[in-house]
Amino acid sequence: MELSGPLTVAVLASRKRLDLAWAALAALGVLLLSGALEGGPVDRVGLAVAFVAAGGWAAYILVGLVLLGQHLGARDAVAVCCVVVASLGAARSLPPVPAEF
């Protein structure tokens, strides 16, 4: 489910019918793996979180390669995005500062 964001970006950027066929097969694979076709319970919160993550991936690709890529070049734009994301992750992993500090 989470990879539906990059898959959507790739399909929208594609110009070939064969790419649409591969995307349809990928969507069918996601449905089969999720158990949704078998009538099994689907965790709605988990599904919502996965789609939010998919939107994050899509935004990362579009901002990194389209907007920044126009100014920096694709390789440098990806490097900048990686540094920003890694910095945010590192900052979130630090313990909180004590109140008396």
pLDDT tens profile 10-52: 888 888 888 888 888 888 887 787 776 777 677 778 878 888 8
| Mean pLDDT rounded to a whole number for the chain | 79
How many whole angstroms separate alpha carbon 1 and alpha carbon 19? 18
Residue 25 structure tokens:
């097969």
Sign of the C-alpha dihedral computed for residues 31, 35, 36 and 41 taken in this order:
negative
Specify the pTM. Answer: 0.56
**Amino acid at the residue 24:** A
Mean pLDDT of 78-83: 78
Residue 101, pLDDT above cutoff 70? no
How many whole angstroms separate alpha carbon 54 and alpha carbon 30? 13
DSSP, res 97 = P
10 alpha carbon, distance to own chain's centre: 12
